[in-house]
Structure 1
């Protein structure tokens, strides 16, 4: 040690600069939440969740119920977006998945409503202000519209996912037969992908908000 300040030289003990590893030891002590919470993706998810919660809580009037529908929204949204990537199976374009989502939700709402609040459910079968002569017909119409709700939820999501994907596939198959129009085809495909991205978000929101509306009718 030639002088007092040479004790701060990192190459005093080792020929390699391993002493600099001590700079990273403090990083290991910092909790993971310090790195995970402030990132932009987490902030985006939090903002979307808070926005959805502010809308759903008006209908559900229950914090835990709104969390269920927010999770459902993100599940459908991720499946819709993954289907836009090449060679990835679009699960939300099949009734197998959409009915599995819609049917248990509707069935649980109906069981809860008819067991816990039967008078309220009977009142929903006859809209307010219906003439007495039309009441039997309105009961039949309301009953049928109530029964087909899970089917309409599932078919709406499936049909919208299938329509855009089929159109992009048909346009993509015409590519080898176009010589000078390929540039127009590329622009059309880009516009269709932008449209499908919007449809993926809108259909996720529509499925979730309709499920929330159906749940609010059984209370």
Structure 2
């Protein structure tokens, strides 16, 4: 049962052993056809205003030494939110529900921050390992705790995004599988209503998790002064 249930999350469409389902990651690019518009469309204007607001909010979390870095995080937000939202549609593969996708976003970013921070701001990185007003007896333990919390950051970012997307899809799959076995119309109406509410919740989760991933990545960058 569990094998068939989780099989919906694995890429199966392929040609010459090339998994075509991963191409859904780039479907979001089709929603921004800048070259085909003489003047910006309403959708493009809404998206541009949203990105401007997000840029200003992320910029407030960074220092002056990180000017221009928000472009990276706005792009990451756009990629994740498009994949999360499009994954709710039928027959579209949700690449953001796989660790291969989420870890590919978080791990290179974390490694880049660590390499830059330890080479350019070594003393500041060492200072982060021991919070202020820490008793001398607890300093060795705080160094270990801070080191572990720093090392697991890319894993927590990746697992948080993938787990939240998988959880909602699993609930929708479980509810849809019980539909054919229901004989009562009243229970069927309740089932369909609950699926609609769950779909709306998943739509909100798709945006919220994209925002959380982006903001946490920005906060981690802001620590590298």
TM score, norm. by length of structure 1: 0.83
SS in 1 for 2:180: helix
Aligned equivalents of 1:36, 1:127: Cα separation in 2:
52
| Structure-1 residue corresponding to 2:182 | 178
| Structure-2 residue corresponding to 1:156 | 160
Find the partner of 1:131 among 128, 135, 138: 135
Is 2:41 the counterpart of 1:35? Answer: no
Q: Which runs of 5 or more residues in structure 2 are unaligned?
A: 1-34
Aligned equivalents of 1:79, 1:34: Cα separation in 2:
24
**Displacement after TM superposition at 1:47 (Å):** 1.1
Aligned equivalents of 2:135, 2:174: Cα separation in 1:
52
Q: For the Cα contact (< 8 Å) 1:36–1:42, is it kept in 2?
A: no
| Structure-2 residue corresponding to 1:78 | 82
TM score, norm. by length of structure 2: 0.81
CA RMSD across the alignment = 1.2
Aligned equivalents of 2:48, 2:111: Cα separation in 1:
30
Q: Which runs of 5 or more residues in structure 1 are unaligned?
A: 1-31
| Structure-1 residue corresponding to 2:147 | 143
SS in 1 for 2:54: helix
Aligned length: 187
Aligned equivalents of 1:114, 1:209: Cα separation in 2:
22
SS in 2 for 1:60: coil
Aligned equivalents of 2:39, 2:44: Cα separation in 1:
7
Larger Rg: 1
Aligned equivalents of 1:151, 1:145: Cα separation in 2:
10
**Displacement after TM superposition at 1:82 (Å):** 1.1
Change (3 A) 1:169 1:115: same
**Displacement after TM superposition at 1:35 (Å):** 2.9
**Displacement after TM superposition at 1:34 (Å):** 6.6
Change (3 A) 1:194 1:138: same
| Structure-1 residue corresponding to 2:93 | 89
| Structure-1 residue corresponding to 2:70 | 66
Q: Deviations over 1:95-130 (max 9, x none)?
A: 000000000000000000000000000000001111
